[in-house]
Amino acid sequence: MKAGQKSVGSNGKQNALFPMEVMYVTQGPGDDYSHGKSKAVDYTYRTNEGKVNRAPYYAPSDCHVIHIGTAGDGVVWASDAEVNYPGGTGYLVYMVWHDNDAPSFRIGETRKQGDLLGHTGTAGNVSGDHLHMEIYTGSAFDKSKAINNWEGLFINDTQIVNDYGFPWVTTDDTTGNINGSCPKGDGTFQLNDKVNAKVRSFEDAMKKECEAQGIPEAVVPLLALMMVESGGEGGDPMQSSESQGWAMNTIKDPMMSIHYGVKHFKESLETSKQYNVDIWTTFQQYNYGIGYAKYIGANGGKNTIPLAKAYSRDVVAPSLGNTSGIMVPYVNEISIALGETMRYVNGGNFLYAFMIQYYTTGDGSINACGNGTTEGDKEKDIINDYIKQLLSDQVNGWKY
Ligand SMILES: [Zn+2]
């Protein structure tokens, strides 16, 4: 797993993930060197570039400390709730050993999935810096319930360097869901690897501005939006000049662009709440201008390609002079995947909300956290509901 990664199965329970970004097994379970009859596995952080000592590892799921090693060399965590794992669904206990910081942990301390759980280390009886891990089923530390690491952890988004030939699997192998990477439930709306460093460099500025305008939860969605608008380039990376009624790129200062971009997004959120529409409508409205939420509110409440396309043709394009539905080619990875490679001249971008999804799903695949264009896709609906809920508290709290 990666730092901060979330993974939830289609049953709404978290998928327990392998805790390191890199897998390099140095010792397996059994009766070899020091593992006796236990089902422990040892890991180091080693790639072609060499070994990293004190390498971070992350919480496989939401969890809390239930036991500290008496010699100050390890910590035992229990999942907060039932999780999906390759061998089934239920509570899991994660025993992690040799972190030099182990004595600083306290019983009851909690971590969310993807949070830093500790570092590989040399505390206790070791021959070198590593993580020793054991997995148990149940919610209490019970040695009789040991399962193998590969039976307890999915290896999604882990760089495999040396897996010792154990039968590791990803979530697709057992729970059949979307690669386990789609944030929802108590997770967060996340950026994926497609969001570039330039955009990420604006994170602090975005955070400051979102907090100032009372929508602190909108930082990540707005960074994704910046990625779509400009990739972080230029003096108006949020392309907010037009939202102020000015000509495109009138704004020359990225900070001013962010200020008006956040303001415009907040307006879009406000009207989304007013007309009880989904979050993807909020994004699409950022592109189209205020008015789209009302239209979607009157047509089912959910942004879909047919509705976005109709609004582009019937409202946006005519308002800018294209009254006869003239289309031009619009070809990129997303439009090809969605089978919509033409757009209306002066009609905005009717795939805008899907482009946001492209930069915010766990693995970047279109529709992994999509917006319900396919009937019966509960996964998508849950995401929509979650994000709506996430943002609605802010909306409710607004004074205007
Ligand atoms: Zn060990």
Cα 352 from Cα 286, distance rounded (Å): 9
Low-confidence ranges of the chain (pLDDT < 50): 173-188, 362-384, 386-400
In a domain, 179, yes or no: no
Asked if 233 contacts 239 with a C-beta cutoff of 8 angstroms, the reply is no
101 shares its domain with 222 = no
Distance between Cα 97 and ligand 1 center (Å): 8
387 shares its domain with 322 = yes
CATH number at 74 reads 2.70.70.10
CB atoms within 10 A of CB 91: 18
231 shares its domain with 373 = yes
pLDDT at position 5 is 83
CA atoms 116, 122, 125, 127: torsion sign: positive
Distance between Cα 132 and ligand 1 center (Å): 4
Distance between Cα 120 and ligand 1 center (Å): 11
169 shares its domain with 201 = no
Domain count, the chain: 2
**Nearest Cα residue to 216 out of 6, 352, 362, 390:** 390
In a domain, 48, yes or no: yes
328 shares its domain with 373 = yes
CATH number at 302 reads 1.10.530.10
Q: What pLDDT, in 10s, does the model give residues 272-318?
A: 888 888 888 889 999 999 999 999 999 998 889 999 999 999 999 99
pLDDT at position 225 is 92
- Among residues 141, 173, 205, which one ends one of the domains? 173
275 shares its domain with 333 = yes
Helix intervals (H) in 57-202: 149-152, 197-200
Distance between Cα 45 and ligand 1 center (Å): 14
In a domain, 178, yes or no: no
122 shares its domain with 242 = no
Cα 336 from Cα 321, distance rounded (Å): 27
233 shares its domain with 169 = no
166 shares its domain with 259 = no
369 shares its domain with 293 = yes
In a domain, 184, yes or no: no
Distance between Cα 139 and ligand 1 center (Å): 22
Distance between Cα 181 and ligand 1 center (Å): 29
Bridge pairing between strands 83-85 and 14-15: parallel
* Helices vs. strands in the chain: H and E counts, helices first: 12, 17
Cα 300 from Cα 297, distance rounded (Å): 6
Distance between Cα 34 and ligand 1 center (Å): 6
- Among residues 139, 173, 207, which one ends one of the domains? 173
In a domain, 272, yes or no: yes
In a domain, 185, yes or no: no
Distance between Cα 147 and ligand 1 center (Å): 15
280 shares its domain with 202 = yes
Distance between Cα 44 and ligand 1 center (Å): 11
In a domain, 324, yes or no: yes
- Phi, psi dihedral angles at 156 (to 5 degrees): -55, 135
In a domain, 379, yes or no: yes
**Nearest Cα residue to 229 out of 317, 348, 76, 386:** 348
Distance between Cα 41 and ligand 1 center (Å): 6
pTM, entire model:
0.49
Q: Helices 219-229 & 279-288, crossing angle to 10 degrees?
A: 40
The whole domain housing 301 covers 197-397
Cα 285 from Cα 269, distance rounded (Å): 9
Measured between alpha carbons, how far apart are the two ends of the chain, in Å?
A: 42
Distance between Cα 128 and ligand 1 center (Å): 10
Burial of 242-281, coded b for 16+ CB within 10 Å and e otherwise, reads bbeeeeeeebeebebbbbbbbbbbbbbbbbbbebebbbbb
Looking at residue 57, its amino acid is Y
Cα 7 from Cα 26, distance rounded (Å): 27
